[in-house]
Amino acid sequence: MTKTSKSLVTGGAGFIGSHVARRLLAEGHEVTVLDSHIGHGIVPNVRYVKGSVTDGALVEQLVAGHDYVFHLAARLGVKTTMSAPAEMIENNLQGTMNVLQAASKYGKKVVFASSSEVYGKGKPPFAEDDDLLYGPTRKLRWSYATAKLVEEFLCLGYGRKGLPVTVVRYFNVYGPGQKEGPYGGVVPKFIRAALAGEDIPVYGRGDQTRCFTYVDDAAEATVRALRPEADQEIINIGTDEEIPIMALARRIKLVTGSASNIVTIPHETVYPYGFEEIPRRLPRTAKMKSLLGFAPRTALTEGLVRTVQWYRDNDRRAQGE
Ligand SMILES: NC(=O)c1ccc[n+]([C@@H]2O[C@H](COP(=O)([O-])OP(=O)(O)OC[C@H]3O[C@@H](n4cnc5c(N)ncnc54)[C@H](O)[C@@H]3O)[C@@H](O)[C@H]2O)c1
């Protein structure tokens, strides 16, 4: 990688993409972001292009002018997946096809953002070559994982044709800048509730576990995926610090110093038919360590302290203080 490398980050106005853009700038890259929605979180010295990855001509023109492509643009989140699966699938597949076709034509390395969702109901800890297990198609929550899976196959297919491509599977990334969705983003949801003194809503019994990855760690691992050793590989990006959601709620209450109550809400009252909870989500991280030479550095409590501070500062800014 030279000092003058040019990187294109699709979805770079979003949560993880904006941190990847910052990381690339810090490493001396010129960075262009292609995103259909450019709102808050503008990173200075990044060039922003407002447009869609579903626009093949635009994608081709941008890919041709860059050395590397970080393809993060996607519709995601449980709510989107459950309420608009067709739009999600069309957007994500079309965008990925456009990126891979253009990158293949011009010989540009691609890092593709996949998800721990692809492991479905498999048996944790999840290793990259494990068998995968999903529920029936009528349970729409599996549509997002299935789309990501097809996109992974596309990446590997273009890899067979000589394209240098790496698939990274993120495990529950959190940190400053993450949006709170009505059905997703458990960390921002709990922090907002805790800071507002409102009930902290835990879905189900709260014994489902997750491994939360601090966004700076995820961004660094993503940029390291440019290494040739990672070409044609699929790599989990996550930590092995596993925590039940109830314990997460308690930790956030502690970190914020909040007097909020923690309340449990049955899944059926929150999600329409078609949702299935994943009881445990834990990555194997050996490949990330060996191929990317990276292990996450930010323990959960430390990451939460930084994230809470960001929400406090942001709320103050929003209130014009
Ligand atoms: N946040 C996580 O924990 C997590 C976990 C697993 C995988 N991922 C993957 O990482 C990537 C980034 O996720 P995020 O959490 O930053 O989400 P995000 O919603 O903050 O960012 C996604 C960005 O993609 C943009 N986008 C969507 N469709 C587009 C299109 N057609 N053209 C251009 N831009 C488009 C959105 O405007 C948004 O800015 C996604 O591919 C997601 O599937 C995220």
- Residue tagged active-site, from 68, 119, 144, 203: 144
Rounded Cα distance, 247 and 241, in Å: 12
**Model-wide pTM > 0.75:** yes
CA of 77 to the centre of ligand 1 (A): 9
C-alpha to C-alpha distance for 146 and 8, rounded to whole angstroms: 26
Q: Which amino acid is at 84?
A: A
What pLDDT does 189 receive? 95
CA distances from 258 to 73, 94, 107, 206 (A): 35, 44, 52, 19
Domains of the chain, first to last: 6-171+214-238+284-296 (3.40.50.720)
**CB of 261 within 8 A of CB of 251?**
no
Q: Give residues with Cβ within 8 angstroms of 99, minimum separation 6.
A: 10, 53, 59, 63, 69, 71, 110, 112
Active site residue 273: no
Q: Residue-wise pLDDT tens for the chain (321 aa)?
A: 445 799 999 999 999 999 999 999 999 999 999 999 998 779 999 999 999 999 999 999 999 999 999 999 999 987 788 889 999 999 999 999 999 999 999 999 999 999 999 999 999 999 999 999 999 999 888 999 999 999 999 999 999 999 999 999 999 999 999 987 655 689 999 999 999 999 999 999 999 999 999 999 999 999 999 999 999 999 999 999 999 999 999 999 999 999 999 999 988 787 766 677 889 999 999 999 999 999 999 999 999 999 999 999 987 666 655
Letter string b/e over residues 26-37, b meaning 16 or more CB atoms within 10 A of that residue's CB: eeebbbbbbbbe
Kindly give the number of the ligand 1 atom that is closest to the alpha carbon of 213: 3
Q: How many CA atoms lie within 13 A of 116 on its CB side?
A: 25
Please tell me the distance between residue 73's alpha carbon and the centre of ligand 1 in angstroms.
5
| Mutation choice for ligand 1 from 8, 9, 10, 16, CB with most ligand atoms inside 8 A | 16
User: pLDDT at position 223, please?
Assistant: 98
User: What pLDDT does 3 receive?
Assistant: 55
Between the alpha carbon of residue 216 and those of residues 10, 109, 124, 190, 249, the distances in Å are 18, 22, 25, 20, 22
Q: Which pLDDT score is estimated for 320?
A: 59
Edge-first strand listing for the sheet containing 30-35: 47-50, 30-35, 6-10, 68-71, 109-115, 165-170, 234-237
Ligand 1 centroid from CA 321, angstroms: 30
Within 10 A of 277 (CB to CB), how many other CB atoms are there?
13
Q: Between the CA of residue 291 and those of 68, 179, 218, what are the distances in Å?
A: 18, 31, 15
